[in-house]
Amino acid sequence: MNKPEEIVKDIELTPKKGDWMTPEVEFKKGRYCYGAPLKHQQYLELPNPREWQPSDIDWRLPDNWQEIILKGMADLLKKNRSFRLFMDICVRCGACADKCHFFIGSGDPKNMPVLRAELLRSVYRRYFTLQGRLLGRLAGARDLTVEVLKEWFYYFYQCTECRRCSVYCPYGIDTCEITMIGRELLNLVGCNIQWVVEPASNCFRTGNHLGVPPHAFKETFDFAIDEIKDLTGIKIEAPINRKGAEILFVAPSADYFASPHWFTFLGYLMLFHEIGLDYTWSAYASEGGNFGLFHSMELAKRLNAKIYAEAKRLKVKWILGGECGHMWRVIHQYMDTFNGPADFLEVPVSPITGTRFEHAKSTKMVHITEFTADLIYNNILNLDKSRNDKWRVTFHDSCNPARSMGLFEEPRFIIKNTCNHFYEMPENTIKERTFCCGSGAGLGADENIEMRLRGGLPRANAVDYVRKKHGVNMLACICAIDKAALPPLLEYWVPGVEVCGVHELVGNALIMKGEKQRETNLRGEPLNTEGEAEEKE
């Protein structure tokens, strides 16, 4: 019998040579997301609707697909000055090259942001620049072939639009926006994924990604009210579609539908009850998230419209938003241009503390951690930190609140005021340099698990460090995709660390007027487990 080393002798260990200009992708199971189902493509009236999978040899593109894409590119170049700029000014300095979690985790060079962008840039050069037209490959220009299109699809759906690379680019090139444009172009010929199109289509129909109709929405609230009664002895109210309330509250649908999001949802409800907030939920603006953003600007705008529409219908004064990541990118960077100006609303002022949220005077929408941090800062809340003693907490900066909003301190301020044990991950893995969960921008599909685990390695590696150093057992975050994506990621890389939202910690610590002695935390686990956290001191 051959010795094992002889068997492996024949294995090709050196990587294949070949330059990046030759498009080459193989759709292997576990590393790509499935195509969008026909019925959802039709529901959203998307171009070239058909049952389709990326692994199909024939993608059944329209006959004139090249023409469609090149025209789309010309339109976008005209419309977005940034797009032309990003195409023209990259000097290939390489500063962004090793900043992408997918490159770091996979070692695939086409996951270097500069090369990801080059996939599109090479086609831009070929058709939109003189050198490219004249010199072709010599000028780094490529013809738009089916292989190139497949490669676009493969790598633009391996970018979580996290913007980490953009932090390091001396020219401010944002590869995330290049990915967004790449996806937009792919959509023109009907190439998109189930995990983006289906929730977007649900959202269009029911107002939320999960397709929850109003009666189920209401029913879920009833469950929550019962649960809070059991926990605290207090029967709270959770107003839905209440006209004339002062504030409209909008959260990602996962908060009231998924776990561990659910406990954050309980935290919001308890907090609003405790401060006697005059507010309402909306059964139609029942989704803060916006998967349209991962498809095209047009769809993002269509899905976003309901927030202002509901604010207007319900005659509120301003809007408060829950713990979501990409929702805040849309609100902070696009909502005003998409569907504003919201001049029927007022500049947000906290009815409890009187704080005027000047920074939100244009969008009229405030982030829940800004709102809660302000309450704590003004000593409004009665908090018992020891109720979170079971947890040794670290905080994951979700990409969008961190890099699109610069929201660093508010969540940390809340955690430090609701927990006794808080430990930061290393400086170069947090705040604006935070590492993505690896599942954003619609890539969180189960069929894409391997890619997600690769992309999430740098994040998990930093969690592993604080786990070993400080015994961290809870990763707090303020994003619904994180709350879904991080538990499986940690199960693979760092077992023993759980995931929670910041308002779950608030709900635990909050001493409510007239509450009974709390026996458990929001998860139903017994309190008074001091021993667990103390051991490691």
Partner 1 sequence: MGLKDILVEKRSEILNAWSDMIMDTYPPDAAVFYKTEKDRFLNPVGYIVNEGIGHIYDGLLNGGSAETLAYAIDRIIRVMAVQDIPPSKAVSFVFMLKKVLKDLIGIDTTNNVIIQELNDLYDRIEETALVAFDVYMGCREDISRIRMDEIRQHGYGATMNPHILKRRRG
Site string for partner 1, 4-43 (x = CB under 8 A): xx-xx--xxxxx------------x-xx------------
- Least Å from the CB of residue 133 to partner 1: 29
- Least Å from the CB of residue 188 to partner 1: 25
- Least Å from the CB of residue 21 to ligand SF4: 17
Q: What is the DSSP letter of 240?
A: B
CB under 8 A: which stretch of 59-67, 368-376, 397-405, 461-469 binds partner 1?
461-469
Q: What is the distance, to the nearest Å, from the Cα of residue 331 to the centroid of all Cα atoms in its chain?
A: 13
DSSP symbols for 325-389: SHHHHIIIIIIHHHH---TTS---B-TTT--B-GGGTTT-EEEHHHHHHHHHHTT---B-GGGGT
Q: What is the DSSP letter of 253?
A: T
Q: Which of residues 55-114 bind ligand SF4 (CB under 6 A)?
A: 90-96, 99-100, 102, 113-114
Q: Which residue number, 373 or 457, has a Cβ lying nearer to partner 1?
A: 457
Q: Which residue number, 223 or 344, has a Cβ lying nearer to partner 1?
A: 223
- Least Å from the CB of residue 44 to ligand SF4: 24
The size of the interface with partner 1 (CB under 8 A), counted in residues, is 64
Q: Which one of partner 1, ligand SF4, none interacts with residue 480, CB within 5 to 8 A by kind?
A: partner 1
Contact with partner 1 (CB under 8 A) among 59, 257, 281, 328: 257
Q: Which residue number, 181 or 466, has a Cβ lying nearer to partner 1?
A: 466
260 contacts partner 1 (rule: CB under 8 A): yes
Q: Which two tokens stand for residue 532?
A: 């667990």
Q: Which residue number, 53 or 382, has a Cβ lying nearer to partner 1?
A: 53
Contact with partner 1 (CB under 8 A) among 46, 104, 360, 497: 104
CB 325 within 8 A of CB 367: no
Environment class of residue 517 by beta-carbon count within 10 Å: exposed (0-12), middle (13-18) or buried (19+)?
exposed
Q: Which long-range contacts (CB under 8 A, 24 or more apart) does 467-471 make?
A: 467/494, 467/496, 467/497, 469/423, 470/392, 470/394, 470/421, 470/423, 470/536, 471/392, 471/533, 471/535, 471/536
**SS3 label, residue 162:** coil
Q: Which one of partner 1, ligand SF4, none interacts with residue 11, CB within 5 to 8 A by kind?
A: partner 1
- Least Å from the CB of residue 166 to ligand SF4: 7
Q: Which one of partner 1, ligand SF4, none interacts with residue 104, CB within 5 to 8 A by kind?
A: partner 1
373 contacts ligand SF4 (rule: CB under 6 A): no
The candidate with the shortest Cα–Cα distance to 290, out of 321, 257, 248, 313, is 321
Contact with partner 1 (CB under 8 A) among 158, 372, 429, 521: 429
Distance (Å, whole) CA 311 – CA 304: 12
- Least Å from the CB of residue 289 to ligand SF4: 18
Distance (Å, whole) CA 62 – CA 131: 29
Q: Which of residues 82-101 bind partner 1 (CB under 8 A)?
A: 97-98
Tokens 């301003």 appear where?
318
CB under 6 A: which stretch of 170-178, 274-282, 339-347, 522-530 binds ligand SF4?
170-178
Q: Which one of ligand SF4, partner 1, none interacts with residue 432, CB within 5 to 8 A by kind?
A: none
- For 195, list phi and psi in degrees, rounded to 5: -70, -15
Q: Which one of partner 1, ligand SF4, none interacts with residue 405, CB within 5 to 8 A by kind?
A: none
> Which residues lie below 8 Å from residue 140, measured CB to CB, with a gap of 6+?
21, 118, 121, 122, 125, 132
Distance (Å, whole) CA 218 – CA 294: 29
- Least Å from the CB of residue 162 to partner 1: 15
Cα torsion 113, 118, 120, 125 to 10°: value is 150
Q: Which two tokens stand for residue 160?
A: 């979580």
Site string for ligand SF4, 175-194 (x = CB under 6 A): xx--x---------------
107 contacts partner 1 (rule: CB under 8 A): yes
**SS3 label, residue 534:** helix
- Least Å from the CB of residue 288 to partner 1: 14
Q: Which residue number, 97 or 527, has a Cβ lying nearer to partner 1?
A: 97
402 contacts ligand SF4 (rule: CB under 6 A): no
**SS3 label, residue 35:** strand
- Least Å from the CB of residue 429 to partner 1: 5
Q: Which one of partner 1, ligand SF4, none interacts with residue 494, CB within 5 to 8 A by kind?
A: none
- For 54, list phi and psi in degrees, rounded to 5: -60, -25
Distance (Å, whole) CA 531 – CA 142: 63
Q: Which two tokens stand for residue 166?
A: 């953009």
CB 190 within 8 A of CB 48: yes
Which residues of the shown chain bind partner 1 in the complex (CB under 8 A)? Answer: 3-5, 7-8, 11-15, 28, 30-31, 97-98, 103-109, 112, 195, 199, 209-210, 220, 223, 254, 256-262, 426, 428-429, 439, 444-447, 449-450, 453-454, 457-458, 461-462, 465, 480-481, 483-485, 487-488, 491-493
Which residues of the shown chain bind ligand SF4 in the complex (CB under 6 A)? Answer: 90-96, 99-100, 102, 113-114, 116, 159-165, 169, 171, 173, 175-176, 179
